[in-house]
Structure 1
Amino acid sequence: MDQHLVVFVTVADYKNFSRAAEALHMSQPAVSQYIAALEREFEVKLLERNNKSVQVNKAGQIVYQYAKEILRNYERMQILVSDLKNDPSGELKIGASYTIGEYFLPGLLGVLRKRYLKIVPDVTIGNTTEIAQKLLNHQIDIGLVEGDFNHRSILTQHFATDDMYIIAGEGQSLIKQSIVLPKELEKQTWIIREEGSGTRKMVEDFFQKHSIQPLRVLTFGSTQIIKEAVEAGLGISLLSDLTIKKELKLNTISKLLVKDTPVQRKFSIIKNNQEFHTKAMQVFEQVVNTAIARND
């Protein structure tokens, strides 16, 4: 591994020679020498220095971007080579959209923990768009999301089908109807998730399919808040069956008998389109698919 790149990236991250030297366990003059050598190699200044901090210039930004990728690939190469002779181990950065992360992932992590003690999961929860972007930025290793995310750099594998129902609070008159036509829902207040959410997209697709223009829409960034709002009689919503089991059991909300429901969507594993993946990623995928097979 090129130590010049390691030093440069560290200085750029800390924006300070002294702090970078401390992090690298090097002397400050040694750090300065590495930077000077790299600038001589490229025949251009990469850093702009002043008394308080260091900033990368335009050339430095280019070097920084590619240096980060080189160092990331080097680290990944070490992990993959080590994987050939060792059991699955190390940190596994998992991203999950809210529905999966809050209602499905905990059980998977329990299984993973029992079978593979050396794997250390690091979980990030966000909406589908956020998780896919983190995957593209190499901030996570693997993602579990609602629906698809189409990108040439991402591989998508469906692992489950999710049933979604329109729900209402116990006081809603629509609950008493034997069948509700989608167009009747136009007069209702709809409570939906934020932009970028897989659940939000399914609601919008349902509106488009049935030419629904809701009288009023409330937007919340949490499924739990949406459920509480529905319970309070503020409106109706379309949510995954996974998320409403407890409320149905307690009779605080009900599924509306709406034509063309349940609405179905896919849950997907997403990963970067690379030839090699770590053993930790591979066994996690096996845990996901095995859990689904047992539930079928």
Structure 2
Amino acid sequence: MDQHLIVFKEVAERKNFSRAAEALHMSQPAVSQYIASLEKELGVRLLERSNKFVELNKAGELVYQYAQEILRNYNQMQILVSDLKNDPSGELKIGASYTIGEYVLPRFLAKLQENYPNIIPAVSIGNTDDIGAKLVQHEIDIGLIEGNFTHHQVSIEQFATDEMYIIAGVGQSFKEEACISIKDLENETWIIREEGSGTRKMLEEFFQRSNFEPKRILTFGSTQTIKEGVESGLGISMLSNLTFTKERKLKKIQKLFVEGTPIERKFSIIKNYHEFQPKALEVFENLVKQST
């Protein structure tokens, strides 16, 4: 692999010759020499230098984009060649939306560790939009999401279904077995997830279908915080049945049978179209599909 591109990429990302040299275990003069040699070969200046930092100019931005792609392709080639002669191994970058990441993914990872101990998972948890964006930017290899994510370079395939219920604290004046109209909940405080969350999208679609608009909404950034708010009587919410099983057994949260619920949604695998698939990714994807 061309060391010039490796050095240039480090300098571009760290915006400093000394820090790039430290990361590469090289001397600063050696780093400077590589950059000068690359600029001479291309016949154009790539970096604007100051005493404290360096910045990419327009030519540098172009070279940086291609350098990223070239180095990524080279690494992918190494993995594929290794796959031909070895068992699945190496790092696998997995992204998962919150409900899946906190309540479903751990058992997938346990099976992966049991069957393929040489695969090292690196997990990112975020809302559905966050995971989709990470996949598009090649920050993860595969994503497991709630609901939908649409992008021209991303494929999506359902692997499981989930049911969502409206929930309340046990101290609130609802009878769990009674069927409730959504209109009966008009004056309740609704605790919902942040923008970009698959759970929030499903709840907003339910409101729209029901021609319903809550009078008071609180927005929380995690499922756990929402459950604690519901338990305390702060308000009601809609969450996946997977997320409050323990609290329901402990009689801290009750499931409300509201007209139009439960809402079924899909859990999906997302991948980049036309990307190479190392054995590690293939075995994890198959494990997910077979475990549901």
Shift of 1:185: 2.0
Gaps of 5+ in 1: none
Matched residues in 2 for 1:209 and 1:92: separation? Answer: 40
Shift of 1:211: 0.8
Residues 114-133 of structure 1 deviation map (CA, whole Å, 9 limit, x = unaligned): 00010011111111110111
Matched residues in 2 for 1:28 and 1:228: separation? Answer: 53
Tell me if 1:250 matches 2:250. Answer: yes
CA contact (8 A) 2:169 2:253 kept: yes
Tell me if 1:62 matches 2:62. Answer: yes
User: Could you say which residue in structure 2 is the equivalent of 1:235?
Assistant: 235
User: Could you say which residue in structure 2 is the equivalent of 1:116?
Assistant: 116
Q: Which letter does structure 2 place at the counterpart of 1:254?
A: Q
Number of aligned pairs?
292
Alpha-carbon RMSD: 1.5
- Larger mean CA deviation between 19-28 and 198-207 belongs to 19-28
CA contact (8 A) 1:159 1:267 kept: yes
CA contact (8 A) 1:163 1:262 kept: yes
- Taking the TM superposition and a 5 Å limit, the aligned residue runs for 1:171-210 are 171-175=171-175, 178-210=178-210
Matched residues in 1 for 2:11 and 2:212: separation? Answer: 55
Matched residues in 1 for 2:102 and 2:177: separation? Answer: 32
Q: Which letter does structure 1 place at the counterpart of 2:140?
A: I
Shift of 1:22: 3.6
CA contact (8 A) 1:175 1:257 kept: no
User: Could you say which residue in structure 1 is the equivalent of 2:278?
Assistant: 278
- Taking the TM superposition and a 5 Å limit, the aligned residue runs for 1:1-296 are 1-175=1-175, 178-292=178-292
Residues 43-62 of structure 1 deviation map (CA, whole Å, 9 limit, x = unaligned): 22111122222222222112
CA contact (8 A) 2:191 2:219 kept: yes
Change (3 A) 1:170 1:237: same
Matched residues in 2 for 1:112 and 1:13: separation? Answer: 33
Residues 231-279 of structure 1 deviation map (CA, whole Å, 9 limit, x = unaligned): 1111111000000100110111111111111101000011111252011
Among the aligned pairs, what percent are the same residue?
66
Matched residues in 2 for 1:24 and 1:106: separation? Answer: 35
Q: TM-score under structure 2 normalisation? A: 0.96
| Secondary structure in 2 matching 1:174 | coil
Residues 57-90 of structure 1 deviation map (CA, whole Å, 9 limit, x = unaligned): 2221121122112111111111112112210000
Q: Which letter does structure 2 place at the counterpart of 1:194?
A: E
Shift of 1:137: 0.9
Residues 12-39 of structure 1 deviation map (CA, whole Å, 9 limit, x = unaligned): 2232223323433444333323212222
CA contact (8 A) 2:146 2:199 kept: yes
- Larger mean CA deviation between 139-148 and 29-38 belongs to 29-38
- Larger mean CA deviation between 33-42 and 201-210 belongs to 33-42
Q: TM-score under structure 1 normalisation? A: 0.94
Runs of 4+ in 1 over 4 A off after TM superposition: none
| Secondary structure in 1 matching 2:270 | strand
Shift of 1:135: 0.8
Q: Which letter does structure 2 place at the counterpart of 1:263?
A: I
Gaps of 5+ in 2: none
Residues 180-202 of structure 1 deviation map (CA, whole Å, 9 limit, x = unaligned): 11222222111100000000001
CA contact (8 A) 2:88 2:119 kept: yes
